[in-house]
Structure 1
Amino acid sequence: MAFALLSILIAAIPVTYCYPAAFQDLKGSSRNRTSIKFLAVGDWGGVPYPPYVTAVQKTTAKEMSKVAEQMGADFILALGDNFYFKGVNSVDSPRFQETFETVYTAKSLRVPWYILAGNHDHLGNVQAQIDYTQKSDRWKFPSYYYELNFHIPNTGKTLTIIMLDTVMLCGNSDDYKDEQPRGPLRAVDANRQLTWLQDRLARSKADFLLVAGHYPVWSVSEHGPTECLLQRLHPLLLKHNVTAYLCGHDHNLQYLEESGVGYVVSGAGNFLDADVRHWNHVPKGSLKFFTGQASTLGGFVHAEVEKDKMTVTFFQAKGTSLYRTVLSQRNGH
C-alpha cells in the first residue's frame, strides 16, 4: 500500500516544472563593468502562415538589435505568446526558424533568450518549446517556471528574475469573451507553482527582485487587470518587496507603479493595440505611461540594473525612446 502510494506521488511530480537556482554567467564580463542590461519583449510570435512574421515584428526586431548594440544587452526576456496563434506542435516545428531564428539575426541579439509561455503557446505543445532549448544555442526555456540569479559585476549586488507560467497558474483566457482566465487546467500544478513561488520569494536576498509572467497584474488595455493574479500574486509582490513585475498579453507598452512595485507591460513585439477600456480599473494615479499607437511600429523595453538602481526605458520600433523610469533596490538590502 505504501509503495503504491509512493508510486502515485512520484508519478504526479512533473519532470520539467521547476528549475534549480544557480547563478548564471554573463558572457564578456569585463573588469570595469558594473551593471546588467537586458531587453524585454512580449507577444512577438509572428503568424502561422507565410511569411510567418508581421511588419511590426520585423521593425521591432531591427530596433531591438540597434538598442542592444548601442546600449548593451546581456540577455532577452521573452514574455510569452512566442508563436501565434496556437504555439508549436513539436520541437521540429519550422516555426522556430521562421518566427525566431531568421528574424532576430543580428549579432547583438545572439545572447540568451529566457523564455516563458503565453496563452497562445498553451494552445500548442509547451513542452516542445522547452525541448527546443536543447537544439538552440540561445533559446533558454528549462521548465514551465524557473528562477534566474545574476551577480551584478563588480558591485557585490545581485539580481534575481523569477519566470512564471501564469497560464498554468490561472488558466487559459483565449476562448472567453471578457478574456479573463477561468481557473487552471490542473489545480495541482497551479498550487505547486504557487507554493514554489512563495518559497523562492521568501528566501530571496537579492538586491533587485523581478517577477515575470505573461498575464498582467495591472493593465488599462483590452485584457485589463488579471483577477486571478490580483488574488494570488499581487499580495506576494507587495509582501516580499518585489522590485518590478514584467508581462505582455496586452499588445502595447505600459508602465504603472503601485505601493513601490513597478509594473511593466511590454507586449508590442508583433501587434499593436491602443485600446484603453480598463483605464479606470487600475489604482488611481498608478498609470505613468501608455502607448499602443500603430505609428510606433512596435516596441520593447531596455533595462539596466546597477549597484543601487534599475533604469527601465521604453522604446518604439521607429527609433526613439518614449519613457524612462528609475526603480530603487529593495529595502533592507
Structure 2
Amino acid sequence: MNLTSKPLSRRQVLLGALPAGLALTVPARAAAPALPFVVIGDWGRRGADHQAEVGRQMGETAASIASRFVISVGDNFYENGVQSLDDTHWRQSFEAIYTAPALQTPWYVILGNHDYRGEIAPQLAYHSKSPRWRMPARYFSRTETLADGSAADLFFIDTSPFIRAYRGSAVRIDDQDPAAQLAWLDQALGASTAPWKIVIGHHPLYTALGGAHHDQPDLIAPLAPLLRRHHVPVYINGHDHSMQYVEMDGIAYVTTGAGSETYETGPANRPGFAAGAHGFLRAALRPEVLEIAFVTETGAIPFSRVIPRTPG
C-alpha cells in the first residue's frame, strides 16, 4: 500500500482534517456484516490526562458501531499497577470511567510493564468482581465467529518478559519464561485453521517512528519471523503513548497507546502514520478484511485503513 508519511499538525488531528488520500473509505457494499470492537491502551490514570474524555468518546463510538467487546493492550493502571482486589484504582480508573452501556461488554485484557510494577494476581482474579474483566491468564487465545461462519483466532500475549532491560528492575518479570510463551504461541498459531489470525501484545515490534526508543528489537527477533511464518496479517499493541500505523514485510503493525497521557510524535519516519492525539482504535472484522480507524477524544478520525486477510 502507498501510505503517506506527511505529518499532521495537532490541530488537524483533533479536528479530523486529513490530507487528500490519507484515509481509505470503507466500501459501501460489504460482503458480510462486521464483527465490531474497540481497542484501548495505556489508560489507567484515575481519570486524569484525558482518560475520562477518551472513555466518554469510546462509549459513544462503541454504541454507534454496536461494539461486541473491548480489548485492552496493557498498562491498565499507572504508575505501579494494583496491589489487591480492593485497590482504589479499580474504581477510580476502571469502573468509574468506562460507564457507558456500550462498554459493559467483555474486556479482554493483557498486561503492560506498569502492571508488572504491582501485583498480577488481582488482575487475573478481578473477573470475580467484574464479569466484563476477562484476563484468564498472562497469555491466552480466543476464537470469534464471523458473519459467514468462519473463525478469527485472537492471540493475546504478554510481552514484558521478553524485554531484557526489565530483568532485575521494578518491572517484576524475572519469574516469567519467555521461551515457554514463545513455544506456546508458535504451537497455537500453527494449530489454528482460522482464516484470520491476529496477535495482540503490549509492546510494539515496529512503529512508524522507528528507532531505538520506539521499535523493540527484543520482540522483533523472536516474534517477527513467527508472524510471517504463520501468515499473521496484523499485530496490535500499546506502550508507545501515541497512535501509529506501519507495514513491515507485509504485516500491519498498529499502535494504540493513547488512552490517557500522550506526547507529540512529530512526523512518521517510515511510510505510515503517527500522531500524539488522545484516543483509541475502532475496528470491524469481516471475512476478507479488517477495517481500522483511530478515533480521538473529540470523535475525529485522523487515519483509517483496510487490512486484507493474508492468504495462507
Please classify the TM superposition score into its range, dividing by the shorter chain length: 0.7 to 0.9
1:185 alignment partner in structure 2 = 174
Contact preservation (8 Å) 1:242, 1:330: yes
CA distance in 2: counterparts of 1:111 and 1:172, whole angstroms? 36
Q: Distance in 2 between matches of 1:206 and 1:331?
A: 11
| 3-state secondary structure, aligned to 1:99 | helix
Which position in structure 2 is the counterpart of 1:165? 158
- 1:316 alignment partner, one of 296, 301, 307: 296
State the match for 1:102 in structure 2. Answer: 96
Per the TM alignment, residue 34 of structure 1 is displaced from its structure 2 partner at its CA by: 2.8
The CA RMSD over aligned residues, in Å, is 2.3
Identity of paired residues, percent?
31
- Structure 2 distance, partners of 1:326, 1:208, is 14
Q: Does residue 231 of the first structure (1) align with residue 205 of the second (2)?
A: no
Q: 1:199 to 1:276 in 2, by over 3 A?
A: farther
Q: Does 1:62 align with 2:42?
A: no
The aligned counterpart of 2:183 is 195
Q: Is the 8 A contact 1:252 1:266 kept in 2?
A: yes
- Give me the whole-angstrom Cα distance separating, in 1, the residues matched to 2:64 and 2:164: 39
CA distance in 2, matches of 1:150, 1:185: 33
Structure 2 matches for 1:135-174, cutoff 5 A? 135-153=129-147, 155-171=148-164, 173=166
Please point out which of 223, 236, 254 is paired with 1:264: 254
Question: In 2 relative to 1, CA 238–276 (structure 1 residues): closer, same or farther, beyond 3 Å?
Answer: farther
Give the TM-score normalised by the residue count of structure 1. 0.79
1:156 Cα deviation after fit: 2.3
1:212 to 200, 203, 224: 200
Give the superposition deviation at 1:172: 5.9
After superposition, residues 54-93 of structure 1 pair within 5 angstroms as: 54-93=48-87
Shift, 1:208, TM fit = 1.4
Which 4+ residue blocks in structure 1 deviate beyond 3 angstroms?
A: 171-176
Written as runs of structure 1 = structure 2, the 5 A alignment for 1:294-305 is 296=277, 298-305=278-285
Native 8 Å contact 1:300 1:315 kept in 2: yes
* Residue aligned with 1:233, SS: helix
- How many residues matched? 279
Unaligned 5+ residue runs, structure 1?
1-32, 47-51
Cα distance in structure 1, aligned partners of 2:163 and 2:182: 10
Structure 2 counterpart of 1:253, one-letter code: M
Residues 209-234 of structure 1: CA deviation (Å, up to 9, x unaligned): 11111110012278311111011111
What one-letter code is carried by the residue in structure 1 that aligns with 2:221? Q
TM-score using structure 2 length: 0.84
Query: Residue 184 of structure 1: CA displacement?
Result: 5.8
Partner of 1:37: 36
Q: In structure 2, what is the Cα distance between the partners aligned to 1:314 and 1:275?
A: 15
Q: 1:36 to 1:325 in 2, by over 3 A?
A: same
Using the alignment, how far apart are the partners of 2:123 and 2:258 within structure 1? 21
C-alpha distance after superposition, 1:103-124 (max 9, x if no partner) = 0000011110000000000000
Q: Which has the higher contact order (CA 8 A, sep 6+)?
A: 2
Query: Does structure 2 retain, via aligned residues, the 8 Å contact 1:169–1:193?
Result: no
Whole-angstrom CA distance in 1 between matches of 2:165 and 2:200: 17
Measured at CA, do residues 81 and 94 of structure 1 come closer, stay the same or move farther in structure 2, by a change above 3 Å? same
Partner of 2:27: none
Report deviation, 1:247.
0.5
**Does the aligned pair in 1 maintain the 2:38–2:69 contact within 8 Å?**
yes
Structure 2 CA distance for aligned equivalents of residues 105 and 78 of structure 1: 16
Distance 1:313-1:175 versus aligned 2 partners, 3 A rule: farther
- Quick one: which amino acid aligns to residue 43 of structure 1? D
Tell me, yes or no, if the aligned pair for 1:120 and 1:174 is still in contact at 8 Å: no
Aligned residue type for 2:241:
H
